[in-house]
Amino acid sequence: MTQKYHNTYYLADWLAGKISDDALKKLVSETDFQEYMKIREASDLMRYFEKTDLSIPENIRQTYPKKQTTKRPISRQRLWVGIAASLLLLFGLYRALTFNTDVLIKTGVGETKQVALLDGSEVILNANSVLSYSKTGWDDLREVHLKGEAFFKVKKGSDFVVKTDQGQVKVLGTQFDVKALSDLFQVVCFTGKVWVKSNKIDAVLTPGKAVRQSDGLVQHWELRDSQPDWLSVESSYQETALKYVLRDLENQYNIHFDATGIDENVKFTGSFPHHNLQKALAAVFKTLGIKYRVKNHQIILSK
């Protein structure tokens, strides 16, 4: 009698290593067995290719070509200044650890900031955004609050949560972009996996997937970029309501629109450059057939 195997989901057991290759061989045909082996191997390869925690070793980093420092003898005066500075630093550190532990980072119009968090995770904050977090308990709970837009590169570790007024994003270690405006909540996943939760969304995003919620409408889409376009030299949009494009233009160029004469909900697909206002305006409004003229720091839009 051939051995009977009771779990209906023997393939899952085999992948988990609970039953051996030989055991599987007895359960399926030879050709199927070969296919399963190849699928397993191919998925191992996927993991091998996906592994993003590769980095350049420290010894090579230290050969940073532009930062070759030369050693100088330390003078007595410098030594004292050094000691005083260290004491001050220690005191500051003590304060930071015991008293005020909330950190607030803001960006102004047209400004982006790169922030390193306590665990080595990175955040790049887009224009007109606010990021805050508390240093206490960071080891147990990595949690930041965001208003505006930011790109996150999270180091692997415990859960990392981005809270916004409209919903939250939870991840393990990955890269993603969050845009949290008063009436728009948008998350784009670039690597790894993120879990997005709001009153309308409860979704796990895989690389290249994105979701947004605006005016109670939830929309899923896919993209191919490896980083958000605002990190490069232009912003691009797909079927996005004009009001969000206007807001991005305002944040980028420190301008103000008077949009009373047009329909702000018309959908825009296209992009605008970050460093040429004239071209940016032409790119957005010419495609939509909207006229614009400048009057006292305001740009008046009309049909």
Partner 1 sequence: MLKKLKDICNPVVFDEIFKTYARDLKQFLYFKFKDRTKTDDVLQDTFVKLWTNCDKVDCRKVKSYLFTVANHLFLDIKRHEKTVQNHENTFVNYNQTESPEFLLIEKEYYEKIQKILNRLPERQREIFVLNRIEKKKYKEIAEMLGISVKTVEKHMHNALIFMKEQLGRKI
**For partner 1, the closer CB: 159 or 264:** 159
Q: Is 26 in the site for partner 1 (CB under 8 A)?
A: no
Provide the residue count of the chain. Answer: 303
**For partner 1, the closer CB: 50 or 183:** 50
Query: How far is 218 from 213, CA to CA, in rounded Å?
Result: 4
Q: Is 62 in the site for partner 1 (CB under 8 A)?
A: no
Stretch that binds partner 1, among 136-144, 229-237, 239-247, 260-268 (CB under 8 A): 229-237
Q: Which residues, in sequence order, are CB contacts of 290 under 8 Å at separation 6+?
A: 262, 284, 301, 302, 303
**For partner 1, the closer CB: 214 or 219:** 219
Total residues in contact with partner 1, by rule CB under 8 A: 54
**For partner 1, the closer CB: 29 or 265:** 29
**Chosen residue from 1, 64, 71, 73 binding partner 1 by CB under 8 A:** 64
Q: b/e map of 181-200 (b: 16 or more CB within 10 Å)?
A: beebbbbbbbbbbbbbebee
CA atoms within 13 A on the CB side of 75: 3
**Chosen residue from 112, 219, 254, 276 binding partner 1 by CB under 8 A:** 112
Q: Is 21 in the site for partner 1 (CB under 8 A)?
A: yes
Query: How far is 156 from 171, CA to CA, in rounded Å?
Result: 9
Write out the binding residues for partner 1, residues 158-217 only, by CB under 8 A. 172, 175, 191-193, 195, 204, 206
Query: How far is 246 from 259, CA to CA, in rounded Å?
Result: 9
Stretch that binds partner 1, among 4-12, 69-77, 138-146, 283-291 (CB under 8 A): 4-12
Q: Which residues bind partner 1 (CB under 8 A)?
A: 7-13, 15-16, 21, 32, 35-39, 41-50, 52, 54-57, 60-61, 63-66, 112, 114, 172, 175, 191-193, 195, 204, 206, 226-227, 231-233, 274-275
